Structure 1
Amino acid sequence: MRFFRSEVLINARASTVWHVITDGTNFGVWESGILEADGPIRAGDTVQITPMVGRRPVNLRVQQIEGEVMTWKRSLPLGLWARTRTFTLTPESSHTRLTVTEDHRGLLLPFSKHPDADPFLDRFTEAVRARSEILDRVS
């Protein structure tokens, strides 16, 4: 199993942060690391996301507890490989703590060339912080 974690304190309301991480139609507008998503990201949906790196679209299953926790899951059959990205929002007075974790597991994991650290996760959380703080000031 490989596990990655990134956390950031955002000077914005949780509702603003939630809007940023679920508004797939605007992922390509800000430095999300995602070129495009095929629409809004809602519980029970399968969303197709095209990352900046690799540029091959991937399908992700979405689960949510509205405004609090969201997971994106992608896997191969028979437990060969699975990746789960979990977004957790925690209100802290006038701020919101965003924690994003990524869990990789499966029989093929030892053969993967994935590094021991994921710099894209830190870039993503920082980009969410910047976008959320701008949008929270405007509204």
Structure 2
Amino acid sequence: MNSEFVIAVHGLVLLAYRPEGMATSEEIAENVCTNPVRVRKVMSCLRKHGFVDTREGQGGGYKLCRRPEEVTLADVYRALAAGSLAPSWCSGDPEKDCVVSSNMAEVMTSVFCGADRHLEAYFGQITIGGMLDKVKAKQQA
């Protein structure tokens, strides 16, 4: 899992929470506790995938352009992090005579692909609106 996914979900929940529905990259970065440059990179990807719009100038920033109840974590995961469970390196060598070494990378790839599908299905049950409800419930507890 990559940190861009976490930044994206946090930013989208913040935008859903805001009464005016607008926040700058600096405001989001301060809330997430990260650098505004990282936030701009993530928000740019979210804009490209139709989750947020931007407004330039005074009073500008990012605005959620879809209803929070309609955006699932699976949608965000597919846009930013799909396939990120698989490591960039796998052990073994398909050219070796050893059955373990020659097949381990392919077997591990299938394991990670299966895990990715399960994670995406789980994330499909959770919406940005639901995340906001959980955050609000924590505040009231």
TM score, norm. by length of structure 1: 0.30
Structure (1/2) with the larger helix percentage: 2
Larger Rg: 2
RCO comparison, higher one (Cα < 8 Å, 6+):
1
TM score, norm. by length of structure 2: 0.30
